A and B are shown apart, each in its own frame.
Chain A
Amino acid sequence: MRAYWTVLSARFRLLLQYRAAALAGLGTQFFWGLIRMMVFAAFLENAGSRSPMSLEQVVAYIWLGQAFLLLIPFRGDAELEDMIRSGNVAYEMLRPVDLYGLWYCRGIANRVAPVLLRCVPMLVVVTLVGWLDWPGLHVLVAFAASLVAAVLLASALGTLMTITLFWTLSGQGINRLVFAAMWMFSGITIPLPLFPEFLQPMLAALPFRGLCDTPLRLFTGHIPLDQAPVAIAHQVASAVGLIVFGRWLMALGTRRLVIQGG
């Protein structure tokens, strides 16, 4: 266990070094948040009962989405990808710890560190401007629990994307497809409740909503507090399912892996 903790904290400290990049990223994210806010305000203007969310809820959802954007694993671990391509992944495999556990811990740090750097200033600013109403303590506890579950889920997905790179050529294409699915079905482009009604059952079943939509809807009160346990259970179950699948795929990938010498 200590080994995993060390990997996690070392990676964490490394990632917290990139403060200038975080600042630039913050600026672009503010811009995107503003555009999105204007677009949705225009859509909801005369929507009346056609919209299942109020404008305040949508605005809060958009800004929370920007604050926690980097939770979503847009690609596999770039360093590990290089290692797989160069053959240095052999070193990783020789380490006396479980490879999946090792990569999963890296994944957690990769998700949490950049989010921490960005979400605090973002949340402070949008709260001061008045775009974000904070709910009561009970809701915040549920939100925090759901965020933790989102991290577990995001790391499972990210690790899975890295593992597909064992099949380098097709892995990149698959990663793009997973990316598209995440972009669409996590709620980061549009809040999931705004999708057409006939798509809602599918969106609710897919694991992607656990990355962003579930915690955000808990925060904005769109999912009532008494349904929080079910929503969080769905996140955890998706995470466990993806971990099991990732482990199986990794076993398959390492069995047929050929490391080129030299």
Chain B
Amino acid sequence: MRAPTPALPDAPLARHLLLAAVGLVAVVLVLQGVSEFRRFQLAEMAYLGIAAGGLTVLTGLNGQVSLGHGALMAIGAYTAALLLPDRDASVPLPLVLLAATVVALAVGAVVGVAAARLHGPYLAGATLALAVAVPGIALYFKDTLGGEQGLPVVLPEPPAWALDTAYFLTGQELTTSGYVALIGWLVLTVTYVLLANLSRSRVGRRWRAVRDDEVAAQLAGIDLGRARVSAFVVSAAAAGAAGAVLALSVRLAAPSSFTLTLSLTLLAAVVLGGLGSLTGALLGAALLTFLPQVATGLGTDAGLSDIQAAELAPLVYGLVMVAVVLLAPAGLAGSLRLLAVRRRTRGALSTTSKGTAR
């Protein structure tokens, strides 16, 4: 579909790695130039982006709608919280992130097996039930999962070598929120490279084939169930990692963070950006992170109370989501790309003879 830009290498892996490296450098540069609050916001953008990336692969490439990604994030967050109860916790951070991913992956496999047999509205309904059900588990097992207050998460001290390297590279002390944001973007980069490669590989082609035409895919020898379950599992793993980053960022895993609204806004982010596009998912995550402040500011200026103004952001997502489905089903990133393609084609057409070209 997308012709590689000549400046970038041809092999997907090399291209993705190069983009990732450039992206990481950019993130480090941005992070050291912004305020503490922006660093916190960038960490938020990172975890929303990770979860949205997983969801866009599931919905865009495999055609399964999941409203349960908030719940899967909760599972990742609680796993991280259980592993990081106090300062003396000896579990290293990479292991915590990995554990959160693996636990969410396991839950995703169970849900995925059930989901693989469901279509459209049935799957949406089942995952909706998941999103509503999971916070209840945390409330029921009060003693281990902390009930309404949730579990505190203690961020381990950054290792000395990381502090030294950061100081050496940027000339600044690494603050806590900077550290968390850095972890978040590192996880995001790794996740996106893996997802991008996967979606361009044989696995990704199978997912797309199942989405586009089940019968044709089956005739081509693709196991529909296996393709669906694998897409769900990969997507759930990303949500788990996102949940762990969320727990590190807000230092808390509580049921109130994982409401139905979170799952719905994740879907909104993915739809806004364009289903199936990782760039779109990141764009959507950026909107989810930065729009609320702007919208709330406009609302209070217009004379609304704080609580009312806080609801303007979801109102905007919802309206844009409806508008995107009605007017631009390809989403923001997709529509821009379509526009570019159309332009390029028109340019190509005008240079060739006009009569024969279609």
Do A and B come from the same complex?
A: no
B interface with A by C-beta (< 8 Å): none
